[in-house]
A and B are shown apart, each in its own frame.
Chain A
Amino acid sequence: MAMSQIKEESAPAASAEFESAVSVKNITKNYGDVEALRDMSLEFPRGQLTSLLGPSGCGKTTLLKIIAGLLEPTSGTVEVGGKEVTDPGPDRAFVFQDFALLPWASVIRNVAFGLEMRGVAASEREAIAEKYIKDVGLAGFENAYPHELSGGMRQRVGLARALSVDADVLLMDEPFSAVDEQTRRKFQEDLLALVQNENKTFLFVTHSIEEAVYVSDQIAILLPRPSRVSEIIRPSSFRNKGVDNIRRDPEYLDIVDEIWASLRSYVE
């Protein structure tokens, strides 16, 4: 099987070569009697993009919010940069599925919000915000309001806000699921460039198999009931072949098929 081959090739490399930016150790999360996560452990290599992929109800967003410090685990620990964390901190920035922009604030104030909360002076934070607004391709929209922007542009604002606080770890909760297909493809290409150019660790929650395989250095497949990491896949051969060639690379297609084969039985 192609899948086992991939795993054999990549598994030793993962443990030997990479330093973890985030490590999750024995996380359990219960909501009353419902077990959302059971004894989950996972390593996220520094400077790479790891996807959490799985059917709905597998706890991938719960895990991401625990790492963000927005939810408290019932037991277990999260370490970021070797230090245990329990609350949100400046080492992590979150990109929300529904963008979570302040509708009463202009683009520049939204992008600068994280810096404002850290007490950065107004002129300084606006200069930083302007730079990132330009970086995400929204130059000229600094004084626009969220409702004047398309869904894709709003998520660029959300991304600029997360980038502007210069956190080591970017937590992205299905960031492209609320934008249209063509915008989503452009986002995926831009995300690959971002991972290349920024020295940051990306944690990416998605329910799209193609998206996960396209953007990830490492894919963690989560299965529900009880929620667990069923396997970790590290695509090896197509990452440096250029954005236009990935979708017809045989390994890409094989991995997509294999993941679907293992998830199929969990989809009603």
Chain B
Amino acid sequence: MILFGYRLPGMSSLLVWGLLWEIVGQSGLTFFVPPLSEVTATLFSIIGTAAFQKALFETAYAFLVGVASAILIGIPVGILMGKSRLLDELLLPWVNVFLSAPLTALVPVLMVLFGFGMKSIIITTALFAIWIIILNSRAGVRQINRSLVEMAHSFGASPVDAFFKIYFWAALPEILGGVRIGIIRAVKGVIIGQLLISIVGFGALFELYSANFLMGHFWAVLIVLFALAFTISEFLAYLERRVAYYAAKR
């Protein structure tokens, strides 16, 4: 954006909001919002503690395993649904139901099925992420230009060649978009899992800090979580831009 003839760097608006936060915090309007400077100081003081690092590790572990399973299962299932009418008819209603279902309500069922441990948290995380990944991979395959498939066939491509050299690349822009949205949903999934299933990781910290009215700590953990999610999402957006040159021209 250009303001008064100066080109502002990206995310300049964060400065404005940060300043507003500081003012509201300093004014002592509500205990719920401590000043940003205090939150930042708390952030650096807790970041080195064993409790924080243990929570970070637990959350990262559940998040990464959950997201990885969602990607590794979701992309092939989506591509196969896009290629096979039968699979599509069988699975699409379920995918749509789970995409819009309030998954939080399912968490108690998962607890009954998979226990109160890490396994249930990982499955919750994967369930939050997987549906949009499936749906987007399917959409990517369905919009493929038929003549590309014929072209590959006419030049003697094997089914494996066609999968990796045509279908995957043709669907890649949609797949990356789905993974990006899926990851953002997985952040919600992992925290909900940690709050509802067993009080571990960042979920436990949120619980602890809010129960004890430690709002500085609360906001500090939230900022860390947001920064992590934002970084991953931006990295995927960068990958999407790498393939954007052909996304619009397939």
A residues adjacent to B (C-beta < 8 A): 65, 68-70, 88-90, 92-94, 96-98, 100, 102-104, 113-114, 117-118, 145-147, 161, 165
Contacts and interface: CB of A to CB of B under 8 A. Distances in A.
B221 to A, nearest CB: 41
Contact of B155 (A65, A98, A114, A147): A114
Residue from the set A68, A69, A92, A103 with the largest chain B CB neighbour count within 10 Å: A103
Given A96-B151, A104-B169, A117 B156 contact: yes
Interface residues of B, number: 21
Contact of A103 (B152, B154, B157, B250): B250
Interface stretch (B44-52, B83-91, B110-118, B241-249): B241-249
A145 B169 CA distance: 15
B155 A117 contact: yes
Contact of A100 (B147, B156, B157, B249): B147
Contact of A117 (B145, B150, B157, B250): B157
Do most interface residues of chain A lie in helix, strand or loop, or is the interface mixed? loop
B249 A103 contact: yes
A100 B161 CA distance: 16
B237 interface: no
B148 A117 contact: no
A94 B154 contact: yes
Contacts of A146: 249
B145 to A, nearest CB: 7
Contacts of A94: 150-151, 154-155
A90 B156 contact: yes
Interface in B153-184: 153-157, 161, 165-166, 169, 172
B147 A98 contact: yes
A137 B161 CA distance: 30
21 contacts: A70-B150, A88-B153, A88-B154, A88-B155, A90-B156, A93-B154, A94-B154, A96-B147, A96-B151, A97-B147, A100-B145, A100-B147, A100-B150, A100-B151, A102-B148, A103-B249, A117-B152, A117-B157, A117-B161, A147-B246, A165-B155
